[in-house]
Amino acid sequence: MIDNKLIELVNITKRYGGSTVIDDLNLYIRENEFLTLLGPSGCGKTTTLRIIGGFESPDEGKVLFDGKDITKLPPNERQLNTVFQKYALFTHMTIADNIAFGLKIKKKSKQYIKDKIKYALKLVNLDGYENRMPDSLSGGQQQRIAIARAIVNEPKVLLLDEPLGALDLKLRQDMQYELIRLKNELGITFVYVTHDQEEALTMSDTIMVMNQGYIQQIGSPEDIYNEPENAFVADFIGESNILSATMVKDRLVNILGVNFICVDEGFGQDTPVDVVIRPEDIDLVDPKDGYLTGRVTSLIFKGVHYEMEVMAGGFEWLVHSTDMAPVGTEVGIRVDPFDIQIMHKPASEDEAAPVQEPESW
């Protein structure tokens, strides 16, 4: 495969006081990729973005852009622009002047600036808004202007730091699709920071899950959701049933005292493991047909599906199904072997998972 690495972070470490926020992080970002940095507050994702943007300097390691060391280069000399959660629009300027701000600093011609404003507004579906003031726009419209202001500078990379966090749910969903469209039309690299799992799964080509300064897993949305490397990733990405189990041998795991056929190999014999089973992958069947039997203890209608809790084998299973079983119903639990994901138990809670690159890398 052609090496199209655009950005490389090499052995990046960042400390604040006596606290290590990022610990020996290695990452590369490909040209035209939509990479999302995902994790809880304080995991190091925004610091990583700020190091890429030049707003923070690493204590150790280097940042490469197109193979060149830009670690000490200031933000305005990097081929990238940043869109923050707080839109930072100039409230005393018209929309046109906001968008033109960076171009005027670069001393572009009036006609060039006029053409670029028109192009950018059309791209973000806000034609004709040139003479409006920022405070007359909705939150979603202001965010689009902030993006328009960034893209007129023709950056090779657009950095977005939780840009949809201040929007309501409907606007946030609309803007997710807008960002996907913009990425496809512009053909530039997007690096996106969020703690919202749905945003990451919806928009990304690649997701990097972080926790306590470590990379936990890098992969496609499908890889991250369907093949989590550890219990942290499984629990953070969507809802999961996570259980301690024993790998009896290849393709056989003991969960809650019952042997389940699975498809995983290479974990050894009688090895303690973690198991993740997604709620939508559990089939509720007649008790005589189940691997485990239990009783429905809770039922909530979620619109698309029913969410049920089933006490079975001393564990409260979370189940999502389009079929409803009333509270108190005795049921059997079955799981397809392909839907049982086996994971190594980490040595410690913040241990970095071994990173496996997706096949497409």
- The domain that holds 185 is classified in CATH as 3.40.50.300
Indicate whether 180 and 296 sit together in one domain. Answer: no
Of the residues 198, 226, 254, the one at which a domain ends: 226
Indicate whether 269 and 293 sit together in one domain. Answer: yes
DSSP letter at 194? E
Predicted confidence (pLDDT) per residue in 99-127, tens digit: 999 899 888 999 999 999 999 998 888 99
Alpha-carbon gap, residue 35 to 53, rounded angstroms = 15
Residue 318: name the closest of 309, 326, 327 by CA.
309
Indicate whether 254 and 222 sit together in one domain. Answer: no
Asked whether residue 38 is domain-assigned, the answer is yes
Paired strand residues for 300: 307
- With 80 as the cut, is the pLDDT of residue 8 above it? yes
- 93-97, 138-142, 159-163, 285-289: least confidently modelled range: 138-142
pLDDT at 69: 97
Predicted confidence (pLDDT) per residue in 187-237, tens digit: 899 999 999 998 999 999 999 999 999 999 999 999 999 999 999 999 999
Q: What average pLDDT does range 169-195 have in this prediction?
A: 88
Asked whether residue 234 is domain-assigned, the answer is no
Asked whether residue 151 is domain-assigned, the answer is yes
Indicate whether 135 and 210 sit together in one domain. Answer: yes
Alpha-carbon gap, residue 93 to 171, rounded angstroms = 24
pLDDT at 290: 97
**Structurally, how many domains does the chain consist of?**
2
pLDDT at 45: 96
Q: What average pLDDT does range 169-179 have in this prediction?
A: 83
Indicate whether 247 and 115 sit together in one domain. Answer: no
Indicate whether 21 and 82 sit together in one domain. Answer: yes
Radius of gyration over alpha carbons of the chain, in Å?
24
Of the residues 178, 199, 226, the one at which a domain ends: 226
pLDDT above 90: percentage of residues in the chain? 75
Q: What average pLDDT does range 318-340 have in this prediction?
A: 97
**234 with 341: CB under 8 angstroms?**
yes
Asked whether residue 118 is domain-assigned, the answer is yes
Indicate whether 218 and 254 sit together in one domain. Answer: no
pLDDT at 354: 42
**149 with 180: CB under 8 angstroms?**
no
- SS3 state of residue 157: strand
pLDDT band at 151 (very low <50, low <70, confident <90, very high): confident
User: Which residues in 136-171 are b (16+ Cβ under 10 Å) and which e?
Assistant: ebeebbbbbbbbbbbbbbebbbbbbbbbbeebeeeb
Residue 150: name the closest of 183, 174, 193, 176 by CA.
183
Indicate whether 107 and 220 sit together in one domain. Answer: yes
SS3 content of the chain, % helix, strand, coil (to 5): 25, 35, 35
DSSP per residue over 205-246, as a string?
A: SEEEEEETTEEEEEE-HHHHHHS-SSHHHHHHSS--EEEEEE
Position with higher pLDDT, 310 vs 357: 310
Mean pLDDT computed over every residue of the chain = 91
Q: Which domain holds residue 47?
A: 5-226
Predicted confidence (pLDDT) per residue in 253-269, tens digit: 999 999 999 999 999 99
Asked whether residue 360 is domain-assigned, the answer is no
Position with higher pLDDT, 143 vs 341: 341
pLDDT band at 347 (very low <50, low <70, confident <90, very high): low
Other CB atoms within a 10 A radius of the CB of residue 129 amount to: 21
DSSP letter at 117? H
Asked whether residue 23 is domain-assigned, the answer is yes
Strand residue runs (E) in the chain:
5-16, 19-30, 34-38, 60-65, 68-69, 80-84, 157-161, 189-194, 206-211, 214-219, 241-249, 252-255, 258-261, 271-277, 282-285, 292-301, 306-312, 315-321, 330-335, 341-344
Indicate whether 128 and 214 sit together in one domain. Answer: yes
Indicate whether 13 and 71 sit together in one domain. Answer: yes
Paired strand residues for 62: 10
Indicate whether 215 and 267 sit together in one domain. Answer: no
**229 with 264: CB under 8 angstroms?**
no
Alpha-carbon gap, residue 256 to 292, rounded angstroms = 9
pLDDT at 33: 96
pLDDT at 357: 42
Q: What average pLDDT does range 342-357 have in this prediction?
A: 60
**304 with 284: CB under 8 angstroms?**
no
Indicate whether 199 and 257 sit together in one domain. Answer: no
- With 60 as the cut, is the pLDDT of residue 359 above it? no
